[in-house]
Amino acid sequence: MQITPVDLRIIDKEAANVYEAIIVASKRARKINDENKIEYNSQIATIPAPAVEDDSEDIENPAQLQIALDFEKKEKPHIQALNELLAGKTKFRYK
């Protein structure tokens, strides 16, 4: 896995305070993660349960495995939130 550093000066251009921008990105990442979790659970719920449940055997369900692999290929929520912030798609204001 490759780690890509983010220059804080780039974040500073999008927000008045770098630390507040990071908080905004983290809150957006939590929201994205919650949306992904709801989507994942709804897709898993459509898969029928196996007919015989035996604790001794570990039977893999190919449909469930495919859904899990699709979600692993998605961009991680924190990276997606940071990219949205840098692109100017995330707006925030004070209450």
32-48 confidence digits (pLDDT tens): 999 999 999 998 888 87
The whole-angstrom separation of Cα 76 and Cα 73 is 9
How confident is residue 51, by pLDDT bands cut at 50, 70 and 90? low
> Which H or E run includes 89?
none
Q: Would you mind telling me the total number of residues written for the chain in this entry?
A: 95
pLDDT at position 57 over 90: no
Note if the pTM is more than 0.85.
Answer: no
For 9-29, write each residue's pLDDT tens digit.
888 887 788 888 889 999 999
Question: Which residue matches tokens 């659970």?
Answer: 41
Tokens (6 digits) for 74: 């998605």
pLDDT at position 55 over 80: no
